[in-house]
Amino acid sequence: MIRLFTALEIEDEAAERLIRLQRGIDGARWIERDDLHLTLRFFGDMPENVADDLDAELALIPFTPLTIELEGVGVFGGAKPTALYVGVKPSDSLSLLQQRHEAAARRVGLSPDKRNFMPHVTIARLRHVEAAEAYGFVMAHNLFAAPPFSPGRVVLLSSRNSQGGGPYRCERTYPDDDLYSDEDWSPDHPE
């Protein structure tokens, strides 16, 4: 069994701004730089053969460049906060990409995702943090924004069965970074 999800990576300048934001709450488990991401579709645990089928379906999805804008801060969990996140400005291109990943999951027999897609980047897991402290953080940083960036690929990540799941491992990229070897590349050959 393997636990998988697809995501967009966070560009360096935006990630550095997220890292600078990560302070001021005792008991928060801040997400490491390499684990910051924007989840497109969490697939969950699956047998290796289903993962192979999913990989084949994901490889067929065209990757169209898109722009990601990070803005605002929020908290999941209500009166018992579980996570802090930075919001992502919704866009038609991001929604379309996520819908294509949802459709790929259904084509390989996975159950539909019951949650509505709410693009975000989790910056901390909260355990034993009072709601007032979490919401105070949100109020202090609600005007947060980072420069827009354009991810160059989608990543298929695997995670551990634990709270937060990290560290994550990149299993595949779309488009495939290894599609062309160095010998195949030429100035006339598209990257």
The catalytic residues are 37, 120
Q: What does each C-alpha distance from 136 to 124, 132, 142 come to in angstroms?
A: 15, 6, 10
CA 118 from chain centre, in angstroms, equals: 11
Roughly what angle, to the nearest 10 degrees, separates helices 48-59 and 92-107? 140
Give the whole-angstrom CA distance, residue 165 versus residue 11. 21
Instruction: Return d(Cα 97, Cα 34) in angstroms, integer.
Output: 22
Q: Which residues contact residue 176 at a Cβ distance below 8 angstroms, ignoring those fewer than 6 apart? A: 59
Please give the Cα distance from 59 to 81 (Å, whole number): 36
Q: Closest Cα to residue 37, out of 88, 79, 81, 76?
A: 88
SS3 43: strand
